Amino acid sequence: MVQARCGDPEERLIQGLRQADPGAYAELYDRFAQRVHKFVSWRLSGDSQTAEEITVHALAEAVRGIHRYDARRSSLLSWLFAIASRQAVAELRHRQRRKSVPASVQVPLDSVAEETLVSDPAGELAARIEAQRQVDKLRSHLSPLEMEVLVLQGAYELTAREIGQVLGKSERAINSLLHRAKVKARERLRNDGQER
């Protein structure tokens, strides 16, 4: 990869992408593909295969549009998440227009292979079902936007500023959403604990 004068690895990567350095393309994929894929897979309710396609398309779009990237406005990761998010939303809209097997009953093949490697498959499955049940309860109690900001902060460790960049909202609006979502989530989980 072309070495930039700047010592920041992200700046060197961006400069390499702008110079069409093939090593920079590989580095972009190696550094960000897994996180972008995980994010897109979550947005698509676990559809790993489509998430992989969107990840590849999002990274390719980022390479083509690297001249539009402004490091003063967002981190590279939040910019990639924003690109991937737009593509995931387009996929969800496309799905609404056609009939298909509901994503909730689809099982990706790679998850079947993972399940066979677990030493206690029944216990692992029970834990995953319970976790999914809790998430579903929260999902029914929170707005989609509140759920998304919680996931972006908790699972992807994005800051409120970065979440705002992904969702096209101000940092202040995201902080407000995060606060409201956390209060509602705590309330829901506390009420569930009292019902048992």
Domain boundaries, the chain: 1-101, 109-196
- Residue of 74, 34, 104 lying closest to 174 (CA atoms): 74
Q: Tell me whether domains 1-101 and 109-196 share a fold.
A: no
Structure tokens at 131: 């976790």
Exposed (0-12), middle (13-18) or buried (19+): which is 183, by Cβ within 10 Å?
A: exposed
- List per-residue pLDDT tens for the chain, 196 residues long: 444 445 688 899 999 999 999 999 999 999 999 999 999 998 888 888 999 999 999 999 999 999 999 988 889 999 999 999 999 988 888 877 765 445 555 555 555 555 455 566 677 777 777 777 777 777 778 888 888 888 888 878 888 998 998 888 999 999 999 999 999 888 887 887 666 5
Q: Which three-class secondary structure state does DSSP give residue 46?
A: coil
CATH class, 109-196 region: mainly alpha
1-101 CATH: 1.10.1740.10
